[in-house]
Amino acid sequence: FLGPPEVAGVDAAIADINSAGGVLGQPLQKIDGDSGDATTTIAAQTVDAQIKQGVSAIIGAAQSAVSLSVIKTTTAAGVVLFSPANTSSELSDTAITKGLYFRTVAPDTFQGAVLAALAQADGAKNVAIMALTDVYTTGLADDVTKNFEVAGGTVAVRVNYDPTPASYTAGVAKVKAADPDALILIGFSESKGVIQQLQAQGIGPQKLTLFLCDGQMSNALAVGLPSGLMNGVKGTIPGVQASEKLRAQMLATNPNLTDFAYGPESYDATVLVALAAEAAQSTKGADIAAQIPAVSAQGNEPCSKFAECVALLKAGQAISYVGPSGATGIKANGDPSYATMTIWQFGPDNTIAPIDSIAADVPTS
C-alpha cells in the first residue's frame, strides 16, 4: 500500500516542477521502477537498469531493508537515493550512505519515542512487543523498548517472528503466556496473519490493546477481517496527513488511490532534488547531494513552491524549502532536523483516520 501514494506524490511534484520550467531549463524526467521487497532481488535489478539509463537520483525505496540492500550500488555510482518512507536508524550512518542518501521522514529514534509514549498514555504499563525479523522492524522494536523502559514501563516479552503461519502461532502463544496489558506489533502486511492468530487464541484487539506502526497502519490491513475487529486500534505513521490540495493532485495522477501515506514526503523528496540541482547548476548526483542540506537549511529565506524557490536562488538568496511534509533542515547524514509523526486510529468500519500529530525536533539517539 505504500507504493501507489509515493508514486503519486512524485508525479504531482514533477507536474509542478515542469509547469514552472523544469530543472535547469529542461523537463524533469521520471523512469518508473519496482523496488519489490527485502525477500527479492527486484530492487537490485531496477537500480542497475536505472543507473545504466543515467539517472541523477532515485526516489525510494519504501522499505528500509530494500534501501540498505542497494545503497552500495547507488553510492558507488554517485547516484542520490532519497527515500520518503525509510525510518531505519542504520540509514543515519554516513559510513553506509557516503553522503548520498536522504529522507523526508524521521528515523526510528522519533517513531520509537512516540509509539512508546502513545502506549503509556493509553495506560499500558507491561507490554509485549512482536516484531517481524527485518532490519527496520527489529530496529524500531529496539527503540520502542528503550523508550518504554526509560519512562518506567516494562516489556513482558519480546518476540521476533518470521512471515509464516507457524511463526505467528508460536509468537502469539508466547505473548498470551506473558499476560501483558498491551501488545505493540511491528511489521508489514503480514501482520494481518498475526492479528488473525491473536483473535484465534482469544487475545484479539478487542481483548488485548493493540498498537501498530507505519508498516501496517493502513486500510488495506483490515480488508477481510471481521467488522469492528480493529476498532480503537492506534498506530503511528511518520509524516503528515496529505492536505486536500495535495490529495487532489495525487488523485489526478492516480484516481484509484485510497491511501495517501508518504505522498507529501515523496513530493518534497522530488522537489528537494530538483532545487538542489538548480542550486548546484548541475545534474551530477554528488553535486545534488552537496546542496540538499543547503536548500532545506533552517533559518534561510523560506519558500514553499518550486517556482518561488528557484526565483530566490536565481536572485542569490539562500533558501529554506518547506513543502507539504513540513520536514526541514535535512542534515549531512540525510536525516531531517524537524519532522512530524501522525497518530492514526481504526474506527468501527475498520478504516483509519488521523487523531493527532506531533511535530518536533528529531532526536539523534
- Angle at 359 (CA atoms; ends 97, 291), nearest 5 degrees: 35
What is the arithmetic mean of pLDDT over 206-235? 95
Lowest mean pLDDT among 1-10, 161-170, 337-346: 1-10
What pLDDT sits at residue 365?
64
Residue with cell 518512507: 85
Kindly report, residue by residue over 323-355, the tens digit of the pLDDT. Answer: 999 999 999 999 999 999 999 999 999 999 999
Which alpha helices (H) appear in the chain, and where do they start and end? Answer: 3-19, 42-52, 64-76, 94-97, 108-121, 135-150, 165-178, 191-200, 219-222, 244-253, 263-280, 285-296, 306-314
What is the arithmetic mean of pLDDT over 190-213? 98
Kindly report, residue by residue over 285-306, the tens digit of the pLDDT. Answer: 999 999 999 999 999 999 999 9
Q: pLDDT band for position 2 (50/70/90)? A: low
Percent pLDDT > 70 in the chain is 99
Kindly report, residue by residue over 31-55, the tens digit of the pLDDT. Answer: 999 888 877 889 999 999 999 999 9
What is the arithmetic mean of pLDDT over 144-150? 97
Where along the chain do the CATH 3.40.50.2300 domains lie? 3-106+242-334, 108-236+355-361
Return d(Cα 167, Cα 147) in angstroms, integer.
26
Return d(Cα 29, Cα 9) in angstroms, integer.
15
- Angle at 48 (CA atoms; ends 132, 76), nearest 5 degrees: 90
What is the arithmetic mean of pLDDT over 243-265? 95
Q: SS3 for 23? A: strand
Instruction: Reply yes or no on whether the pLDDT at 125 is more than 60.
Output: yes
Kindly report, residue by residue over 52-105, the tens digit of the pLDDT. Answer: 999 999 999 998 999 999 999 999 999 999 999 998 889 999 999 999 999 999
Q: In whole numbers, what is the pLDDT of the chain averaged over residues?
A: 95
Kindly report, residue by residue over 266-292, the tens digit of the pLDDT. Answer: 999 999 999 999 999 999 999 999 999
> Domain 3-106+242-334: which CATH class?
alpha beta
Instruction: Reply yes or no on whether the pLDDT at 169 is more than 80.
Output: yes
In Å, what is the CA distance from 106 to each residue of 18, 114, 282, 325, 329? 28, 11, 28, 11, 11
Question: Where does 108-236+355-361 sit in CATH, by number?
Answer: 3.40.50.2300
- Angle at 189 (CA atoms; ends 82, 164), nearest 5 degrees: 120
What is the arithmetic mean of pLDDT over 204-228? 95
DSSP type of residue 328? B
